Amino acid sequence: GVGMGMTAPVSITAFPTEDGSFQQKVKVSLRIPSQFQANPPCPTDESIKIEERQGMTIYSTQFGGYAKETDYVNYAAKLKAALGSEAAYCKDFYLCNGYDPPMKPYGRRNEVWFVKE
C-alpha cells in the first residue's frame, strides 16, 4: 500500500544467447528509495523479491533515445569490442539500465553495464 514513485535506474539483467539477443528470461530490478531502505515495504505479490545488490565495479557505455532490446544488444556488442579480449568481466549476463520516465522525450539516458570479475 506504499507508493514509492519512479526509481532510477530501472535495471534489466539480460542473459545473452549465442547470437547476442536476450534469452526469454530477464530480471527487472528497481532501486528502493533511500527513505525505505532500512525498512522496505513488504511486497504483496509473491513474484516480487527484495534483494540486496552488493557493490560492484563495472564497464559501462551510455546512449540516448528510447531504448529497445536491439539498442541494448548493439551497445553491448560495441562495449565488448571496445574492451577487447584482455578485460575480465562476467559474460553470462549484463545489465541494461534506463534512467528516465517514459514521458521524457529528449535527453534520455541509457547504459549497458558489464560487471568486472
Full-model pTM: 0.86
What pLDDT was estimated at residue 72?
95
Termini Cα distance of the chain: 39
Per-residue pLDDT of the chain (117 residues; tens, 9 = 90+): 667 777 889 999 999 888 777 777 778 898 888 888 888 888 888 988 999 888 999 999 999 999 999 999 999 999 999 999 999 999 999 999 999 998 999 999 999 999 999
Asked if 63 contacts 98 with a C-beta cutoff of 8 angstroms, the reply is no
Domains of the chain: 10-32+55-115 (3.20.80.10)
Q: For residue 60, list its beta bridge partners.
A: 113
